[in-house]
Chain A
Amino acid sequence: LAKTTQPISMDSYEGQEVNITCSHNNIATNDYITWYQQFPSQGPRFIIQGYKTKVTNEVASLFIPADRKSSTLSLPRVSLSDTAVYYCLVGESSGGYQKVTFGTGTKLQVIP
């Protein structure tokens, strides 16, 4: 089963670009990579999903190298409201169904 490893925490000043990298050395051929954001006492919110190369949407970009053993979430020009925990998830196939396991996540603190 693919496990993920992320930095426990990061600090960034407002207006800066933030890159959070996730390692997933055992990713399977069929697995997608998904990133979520979670605020305290709320459920995680979907940010972006990708399989390979680069994916961009209105809030973030996701960079995935050719070997797919890692991925980087890029948040452009963060604001104080981006302070949250960010989780990288990799799909897992087990027993005929697919599930994902949450790792520790990265607590991002945006500083004024």
Chain B
Amino acid sequence: GAVVSQHPSRVICKSGTSVKIECRSLDFQATTMFWYRQFPKKSLMLMATSNEGSKATYEQGVEKDKFLINHASLTLSTLTVTSAHPEDSSFYICSARQEVNQPQHFGDGTRLSIL
């Protein structure tokens, strides 16, 4: 149980393109979903937290107009990297949690490469 599917697993695109990443909880309803970014050999960095039906809460230093998050249902959240540039290249990981104080369950990440 507690499976989170993240798609696509890898994206390579040109600078200026907008990229959408989907995160789905397959066998549970996620009241909260999280988006992380991870650089090579570094820890996960929380970008934003979203609760179903409300606006995402962004961490300090994360541009909300750059990284658009939508959490329209209890099983789906999307992250759109708008007008991506090479410095946006990274490993993006989502997680979903059913309730407070329950563990997060993570997707397998999306490797984004902007040329």
Contacts and interface: CB of A to CB of B under 8 A. Distances in A.
A15 to B, nearest CB: 28
Interface string A10-37: 0000000000000000000011101010
Contacts, number: 58
Contact of A34 (B44, B57, B103): B103
Contacts of A100: 46, 104
Interface string B41-83: 0011110010100000100000000000000000000000000
B93 interface: yes
Interface residues of B, number: 28
A105 B43 contact: yes
Contacts of A91: 100-101
A36 B49 CA distance: 19
A91 B44 CA distance: 15
Interface in A32-87: 32, 34, 36, 41-46, 49, 87
Contact of A42 (B36, B95, B103, B109): B109
Contact of B46 (A31, A36, A95, A99): A99
Nearest to A85: B43
A104 interface: yes
A44 B44 contact: yes
A31 B104 CA distance: 14
Nearest to B4: A43
24 contacts: A31-B101, A32-B101, A34-B103, A43-B94, A43-B95, A43-B107, A43-B109, A44-B44, A44-B93, A44-B95, A44-B106, A46-B105, A46-B106, A87-B44, A91-B101, A95-B57, A97-B49, A97-B57, A99-B49, A100-B46, A100-B104, A102-B43, A102-B45, A104-B43
Interface of A: 30-32, 34, 36, 41-46, 49, 87, 91, 95, 97-105
